């Protein structure tokens, strides 16, 4: 997709703040610090439209970015950040869950994992939860630049196996740092919003 316009719209804390123009939405899920905001920036070729930080757990709202008049990226709060209180974690959990289950313009969830390591228990739970509820998803294994190219395939296989991915599920190896996988991922996203 040619990105002519990318704009931050809102940090939504509840459904009343979600956009009402019915554009398709693509959400990003993944643990804190896995690289969700960086992936958005890479896809739209902007340095820092989506706020990135080395402090995990920063994004606590649903952050909406409008791309052209075509779609929204919805940057979800990262999960699995231990320093956030349990009550707060549960609140976010409910909030994110209702979004994922009830948002009818949601076309795809990109579940981000770190290509370097086997997916965590939280990643596995998230994958299973999305599959259980029939939420369309693709897994994006990011930070590929941090390991040698010769190891990508082996690590991708470990990701697939650890998550117990179905044959038809898509896994895309990615790097926000070097732009690896960008065109392939855009193709997946364009297909997801095309019907
Ligand atoms: P939260 O908003 O806290 O949930 O984090 P996030 O998932 O949005 O992560 P973010 O994009 O802020 O990235 C976290 C850190 O990882 C930052 O220091 C990024 O620069 C770094 N990072 C993200 N993606 C990549 C990547 O593909 N390669 C490398 N080398 N670093 C990355
Ligand atoms: Mg973020």
Q: What confidence tens digit (pLDDT) does each residue in 72-105 have?
A: 999 998 877 655 667 766 766 788 999 999 999 9
Is 1 a domain residue? no
| CA dihedral sign of residues 176, 181, 187, 189 | negative
Burial of residue 11, with CB atoms counted within 10 A of its CB: 0-12 exposed, 13-18 middle, 19 or more buried: middle
Q: What percent of the chain has pLDDT over 90?
A: 78
**pLDDT at residue 58 above 60?**
no
pLDDT of 32 above 60? yes
Residue 86 lies in a domain: yes
Q: Which domain holds residue 87?
A: 6-193
pLDDT band at 19, cuts 50/70/90? very high
What does pLDDT average to over the chain? 91
Proportion of the chain above pLDDT 70, given as a percent: 90
Residue 126 reports pLDDT greater than 70:
yes
C-alpha 75: how far from its chain's center? Answer: 7
**156 assigned to some structural domain:** yes
Ligand 1 atom nearest 51 alpha carbon: 12
Could you tell me whether strands 106-114 and 62-67 are parallel, antiparallel, or unpaired per DSSP bridges? Answer: unpaired
| pLDDT surpasses 70 at 62 | yes
Task: Give the distance (Å) from ligand 2 centre to CA of residue 5.
Answer: 20
User: What backbone torsions phi and psi does residue 148 show, to the nearest 5 degrees?
Assistant: -65, 145
How many angstroms separate the Cα of 14 from the Cα of each of 38, 79, 86?
24, 18, 20
Backbone angles phi, psi at 187, to 5 degrees: -60, -40
Is there a contact between 92 and 77 (Cβ–Cβ < 8 Å)?
yes
Which of residues 99 and 58 earns the better pLDDT score?
A: 99
**Band of residue 51 on the pLDDT scale cut at 50, 70, 90:** confident
Q: Which residues surround ligand 2, an ion (CB under 5 A)?
A: 36-37, 59
Q: What is the pTM of this model?
A: 0.93
Ligand in closest contact with the CA of 48: 1
- When divided into structural domains, the chain yields a total of 1
For residue 8, list its beta bridge partners.
65
Classify residue 85: in a domain, yes or no: yes
Ligand 1 contacts CB of residue 56 (under 6 A): yes
Q: What is the ipTM of this complex?
A: 0.99
The answer as to whether 14 is a domain residue is yes
Q: What is the pLDDT averaged over residues 158-165?
A: 98
pLDDT (0 to 100) of residue 92: 67
Looking at the domain assignment, is residue 121 inside a domain? yes
Which CATH number goes with the domain that contains 173?
3.40.50.300
* Statement: residue 37 has pLDDT above 60: yes
The structure tokens 């920036």 sit at 41
């Amino acid at each position: 997709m040619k990105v002519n316009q990318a704009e931050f719209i809102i940090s939504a804390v509840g459904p009343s703040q979600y956009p009402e123009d019915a554009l398709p939405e693509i959400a990003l899920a993944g643990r804190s610090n896995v690289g969700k905001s960086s992936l958005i920036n890479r896809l739209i070729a902007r340095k820092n439209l989506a706020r990135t930080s080395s402090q995990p757990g920063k994004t606590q709202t649903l952050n909406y970015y409008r791309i052209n008049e075509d779609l929204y990226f919805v940057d979800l709060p990262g999960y699995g950040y231990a320093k956030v209180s349990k009550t707060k974690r549960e609140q976010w959990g409910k909030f994110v869950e209702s979004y994922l289950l009830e948002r009818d313009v949601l076309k795809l969830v990109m579940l981000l994992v770190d290509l370097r390591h086997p997916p965590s228990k939280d990643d596995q739970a998230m994958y299973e939860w999305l599959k259980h509820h029939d939420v369309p998803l693709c897994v994006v294994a990011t930070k590929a630049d941090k390991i040698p190219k010769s190891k990508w395939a082996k690590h991708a296989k470990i990701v697939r196996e650890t998550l117990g991915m179905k044959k038809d599920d898509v896994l895309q190896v990615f790097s926000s740092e070097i732009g690896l996988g960008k065109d392939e991922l855009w193709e997946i996203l364009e297909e997801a919003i095309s019907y």
